[in-house]
Amino acid sequence: MEIPGVEQSPNQSKFARLMELLQKLSILADAAKYDASCASSGTSSRSARESGGIGSAGGSGICHSYTPDGRCVSLLKILLTNFCTYDCLYCINRKSSNVPRARFTAEEVVNLTLDFYRRNYIEGLFLSSGIIRSPDYTMEQIIRVAKSLRVEHQFRGYIHLKTIPEAGSELIQEAGLYADRISINVELPTQENLDRLAPEKNLQRIEDAMGDIRTKVDESREKGKAAGPAFAPAGQSTQMIIGATEANDAAILGRASSLYSRFKLRRVYYSAYSPIPDASSTLPPIKPPLIREHRLYQADWLLRFYGFAVDEITPREEPNLDLQLDPKSSWALRHPEKFPVDLNKAPREMLLRVPGLGVRTVERLLQIRRWHRITFGDLVRLKVAVKKVMPFVCTSDHHPANLESRPQILRQQLAVPNEQLELFGT
Amino acid sequence: MKIFRIDPTFQSWRGAARMAISNELPPGDCIFVERGEASLFEADTFAEEKTAKEIRVPKEFKPLAEAVACHVDTAKWQLLYMLLWRLNHGEPKLLEISSDPVVRRAHELQKQVGRSIHKMTAFVRFREFQREGDEKSHFFAWYEPEHFILNRVAPFFRDRFYSMNWSILTPIGCIHWNLKDLSWSEPVSKPLNLEPDSKEELWLAYYRSTFNPARLKLKAMTAEMPKKYWKNLPEAGTISELIQNALPRVERMLNRAAVEGVDKM
């Protein structure tokens, strides 16, 4: 409609559109940031050179920036909308929260992704959404974005799609054809926890959906490339919130380990429950337990790469990780009889259990000892944290006393003082 | 003392090193000097005495040497020759002994070059520029690499931004892509004065919003994004404001939650 006397310049409407987009982006990025997953690695190798279009992936993934919370910015991590019919108490977007709401169109997300990608700000898109209308409807909206990027724009960058366990299996199938990674957040380790804080969520349904995804990933891998695009070549991941309930570390690691082994998850992310605007009064107004989160990641690494079992890391009598001590040192001090370990003789499995020796160093030591006897000087030159390692290992020129008489003294030496833990991260 | 004048490339060093090995010159008796670089040694430039023979090295050597050759430290040529000499004089498995000081040093240089390549793929920032009358826009970036890595990163940018015209300008040379060919041009000493394009504001808004003020961890940030990179990252301009406002924001959230908790009891 033309209003006589009022001329709207194209610049003005352009400006209004930009302001609206800025506002939506601010709301929907804020709404997505409590999801810790950021990986853009481990997917199939490909690039626009082979196909036209834009983008590439494969290899180690790239963190394009870091925010002052120390987290990397790898993907444009946003929600399609933060309107939600669910009322998960820990969530900033729950139905009962008063946060401002917004919704992107599919086209807006596609354009933002491409515009950011062309400027080398990001590796790709992480898209999630509040549940609107129905799980199937929401899933369809998410898929529209991914399909447009992949098919219309021949986008070869990384796409991570959050899937909704209640959505139909054929929708998850379609999502996996466009996405590198798909994920479903379990959020809390037990059904009892979910019942209290996330009444719409059901652990059994979540696990069924993860099982379904695993089958699809496995089938697609068996068929190989000839059968068309791979289903979620970077696999699936999940997240658990830490500190919103009183669940102990044994329960959290137990759930993680079970999900890893049953559904071949690539990653479990641990996200310290963090104060949010308009938080539910049912939840403790706490500072995020960042040290605990850090110890859980260390324990997770021990489960996946160091051959530890959950009950070794969190035995029945100590179901929570020691905040002052890394979990490998804790285990070593509970088992002084296994030390010192002879670096010239011990098998790989045992070397991996030495506090302060990482996987890479262990591989190097195994290689070196084929050619000469390992000396303490080798450790120094490999830049091993020798002070930490010293009490636990023998070399040809270093023989520490038995550990059994002094685990307490060692604990004092290794433990991070409480004051320092306070400063952790800053 | 024999001096080998070389170009600053792996190929040029390799030619000279083959010659030196073929003539049984131990590392203490020869040096490799980049053309144009002054040398402290007053010695004759090496004249060919014997044709170079083929030298056998383990397959790990070439990728290691190629990476080390990109390092900014010119002592790298001598270091590489030391490795090559020892591999050929009774230590064929030397590279497996990563605690050996020379191997260790080579690995360090390799790692620094690798990190520099990785950071360049991460921190280059393009700005779009549309010249009047041109059908397609052109994307420009200014970047300051720590090592001589342009040849190594060029294919990455070509393959990723295949359908864009782009140029990356640096103080050690410039790379250009015109949808068909990569080309190189002379270094430029200063950043282009290019206005932020219309999308940069969206990026800054995203960066501000994705930051969680309740998890301030500055050391973790600067470990991965050291301050030396900040001047060419548009989002880094918001960092001090984000840090300053973080604590008050969190306190507001915590206080509000506490007050409401009391109200509802």
Look at residue A41 and tell me whether its pLDDT is greater than 70.
yes
What does the pLDDT average to over A213-223? 94
Decide: A75 and A117 in contact? Cβ < 8 Å: no
Whole-number pLDDT of residue A408? 81
Determine the Cα–Cα distance for residues A314 and A261; give it in Å rounded to an integer: 18
Please state, in angstroms and rounded to a whole number, the distance separating the CA atoms of residues A27 and B205.
10
Residue type, B233: L
The alpha-carbon gap from B217 to the nearest alpha carbon of chain A, in Å, equals 4
The nearest CA of chain B is from the CA of A28 a distance in Å of: 9
| Res. A413 pLDDT band, cuts 50 70 90 | confident
Task: Summarize pLDDT for A123-142 with one digit per residue, the tens.
Answer: 999 999 999 999 999 999 99
Give the strand pairing for A124-128 and A158-162. parallel
The pLDDT tens digits of the residues spanning A11-27 come to 778 889 999 999 999 99
Confidence of residue A35 (pLDDT cuts 50, 70, 90): very high
Check residue B66 and give its pLDDT: 97
Dihedral of CA atoms A77, A80, A86, A89 in degrees, nearest 10, equals 30
Calculate the average pLDDT of chain A. Answer: 93
Q: Which residues of chain B are under the pLDDT cut of 50? A: 262-265
Helices (H) and strands (E) in chain B, counts: 8, 7
What single letter denotes the amino acid at residue B87? L
- For the cut 60, the answer to whether the pLDDT of residue A146 exceeds it is yes
Considering chain A, what percentage of its residues have pLDDT values greater than 90? 82
| Nearest beta carbon to residue B205 from set A22, A47, A367 | A22
The helix (run of H) or strand (run of E) holding residue B122 is: helix B101-123
> Which residue among A63, A120, A379 sits closest to B125, beta carbon to beta carbon?
A120
Residue B129's closest chain A neighbor by CA? A119
For residue B48, list its beta bridge partners: none
Residue keyed to tokens 């068909």: B180
Question: What is the chain A residue with the closest CA to B155?
Answer: A49
Task: Measure the CA–CA gap between A62 and A42, rounded to whole angstroms.
Answer: 11
A162: β partners = A183
Question: Can you tell me the distance from the alpha carbon of A370 to that of B119, in angstroms, rounded to the nearest whole number?
Answer: 35
CA distance B22 to B39: 23
What's the mean pLDDT in A226-233?
Answer: 87
> Is residue A280's pLDDT more than 50?
yes
Whether the per-residue pLDDT at A419 is higher than 80: the answer is no
pLDDT at B154: 98
User: Does A99 contact B at CB distance below 8 Å?
Assistant: no
Q: Where are the alpha helices (DSSP H) in A179-232?
A: 191-197, 203-223
Nearest CA in chain B to A60: B118
Q: Which two tokens stand for residue A46?
A: 């490909």
| Two tokens, residue B55 | 């030298």
Q: How far apart (Å, rounded) are the C-alpha atoms in residues A144 and A142?
A: 5
Please tell me what DSSP assigns to residue B235: G
ipTM of the modeled complex: 0.93
CB pairs under 8 A between A and B: 204
Rg (CA), chain A: 25
Pairing of strands A341-342, A393-394: parallel
- The whole-angstrom distance between B244's CA and the closest CA on chain A is 11
